[in-house]
Structure 1
Amino acid sequence: MPRETRKILCPVNLRHVKLEQNAYEEACEMAVRRGAELIVATIAPEMERNLNIRDSEAYWSGELRKFVAEHPPGPVDPRLVVRKGAVHRQIVRLADEEKVDLIVMEAANPRIQDYLLGTTASHVAAHASCSVYLVRTP
């Protein structure tokens, strides 16, 4: 008997949002098809490079709301979450805390050092206690 998917987590890297939306679109479609709750999350850096950002959590919450408004998820009403810290660790931690059944995320990051050091997706796939669906970036 197949496992039921009740919660889907879709982490979105807002710094590369123009390059990667495939996983978000796939997560929205999966949530509709499976009748699952959708959690859309972004991970803010511990230390902002942009010194004009005074309240990092408020800034990234606004950016995440703006992203979802510009890319409507259809009939799904996603829950938005902002975390701070190391991206790969926070995604796994959030998935565990929320007891998600599936993480849907991009499989590649356009920065070259990720290919040399290993990717966030590979860490999440190796350490998450739930299933991970990786969407390749064209």
Structure 2
Amino acid sequence: MPRETKLILCPVNLRHVKFEYHAYQEAVEMAQRRGAKLIVATVAPEIERNLNIYDSGQYWGDELKKFIASHPAEGVEIETVVCKGAVHRQIVKLATARKVDIIVMDAANPKVQDYLLGTTASHVVTHAECSVYVVRNPS
């Protein structure tokens, strides 16, 4: 009997969405097919490198809303979440806390083409309590 999917988590690295967002597209399509809610999350650094950003939670929250507005997900309920801390730990922590059914994420930083699976994806696959769907970017 197939598992029911009610809640999907898609972490998005807003510093790289100009290059790739295949995992987001896949998560939207999966949510549409399964009638699931989609949590789109980003992780802000605890200490912001850009000194012009005074409230990183607010800044990255606004950037995440802009991203969603420019990439609409017709027929899908979307919730945005901004976490702070180490990316790999925050993704697993959020997935556990919200009891998500599946995490849909990119395989690696699109700027680093030498790696088959990035360290963040590796950590999430190893430590998440739910299924993890890793999206490889087409070459």
Q: What does residue range 1-138 of structure 1 map to in structure 2 within 5 Å?
A: 1-112=1-112, 115=115, 119-138=119-138
Deviations 1:105-127 (A, max 9, x none): 00011354x94xx5100100000
- CA separation in 2, counterparts of 1:100 and 1:23? 16
Quote the Cα distance in structure 2 between the aligned partners of 1:23 and 1:74: 16
Q: TM-score, normalised by structure 1?
A: 0.94
Structure number having the greater helix percentage: 1
| Structure 2 unmatched runs, 5+ | none
Percent identical among aligned pairs is: 70
Number of equivalenced pairs? 136
TM-score, with length taken from structure 2: 0.93
Following the alignment from structure 1 to structure 2, what is the Cα–Cα distance between the partners of residues 75 and 42?
22
Report the alpha carbon displacement of residue 74 of structure 1 after superposing the two structures with TM: 1.5
**Alignment RMSD:** 1.5
Distance (whole Å) between structure 2 residues aligned to residue 110 and residue 81 of structure 1: 22
Q: What whole-Å deviation, never above 9, does each CA across 1:32-86 have from its counterpart, x for those lacking one?
A: 1001110000000011000000011000000000000001012112000000000
Unaligned runs of 5+ in 1: none
